[in-house]
Structure 1
């Protein structure tokens, strides 16, 4: 079985994570996230370029994995698959980590919510580009 991946869709999906993250972690939940994660303003400046570069590479990996999974099943399936992955795998795994690390509900809701929204958007974008 051949896996068809539209790399333009993967690139756009990876970039969407930056847009969503920019809104999520600055406009919507900056201070609540910093409190929940224990991250001071000064820490955000330290090695910021490395954090952004690493995030982009990992976003490409996520988008490519979603593309391989979604195939040519379209935008609806892509969004649904992204939502299932974001909620059922990523957010749920974050929940497990949160329980053992004794993180609060705010930490879990902010980070799990970001991943649920981002994976859904990435899946929709990849699905839209891979229709055949």
Structure 2
């Protein structure tokens, strides 16, 4: 199947559910499970939590929408229709693109603990893409 026809065949309900799940995971991941380590990775452990503008909430959801649409399109183009294959696909994409790119972005002079940040955020994206792939394959 071509990528263009795969884009036309994705299940938009699955996409919506995966975006909601991935975004909810982010809220729990960064605000509850890893709030203190995440602040430490940013060098903000002793600073008060800053006010969050709307972009803080809406921006990641929009970007996640693109990640989920791309995932669903690639899964359709590759004819991935079994949960085990979806997990393998998600692990390859999660480690090879999402987690690796997170580390690449973090390695800069403005990030005090880039590898720690990469571990926390990269692991979030790895779990998020696995959940996404399982939702997409379920539909």
Runs of 4+ off more than 6 Å: none
CA offsets, 1:96-126, max 9 Å, x none? 2333446423211101111111111111111
Stretch of structure 1 that moved more, 72-81 or 9-18: 72-81
- Residue 61 of structure 1 aligns with which residue? 66
1:91–1:112 Cα contact (<8 Å) kept: yes
- Where structure 2 has 5 or more consecutive residues not aligned to the other structure, the ranges are none
Kindly tell me the number of residue pairs found equivalent between the two proteins. Answer: 127
Contact residue 103 and residue 117 of structure 2 kept, 8 A: no
For each residue in 1:33-58, what CA deviation from the matched residue of structure 2 results, as whole angstroms up to 9, or x when unmatched? Answer: 01211344432x230x2221122111
Aligned-pair Cα RMSD in Å: 1.8
Distance 1:100 1:9, change over 3 A: same
Q: Of Structure 1 and Structure 2, which has the larger fraction of its residues in helix?
A: 1
TM-score between both structures, scaled by the size of structure 2 = 0.80
Which structure 1 residue ranges, 5 or more long, are not aligned?
Answer: none
Aligned counterpart, 1:110: 120
Q: Contact 2:18–2:135 at 8 Å: present in 1 too?
A: yes
**Cα distance in 2, alignment partners of residues 112 and 37 from structure 1:** 14
Match for residue 49 of structure 2?
A: 42
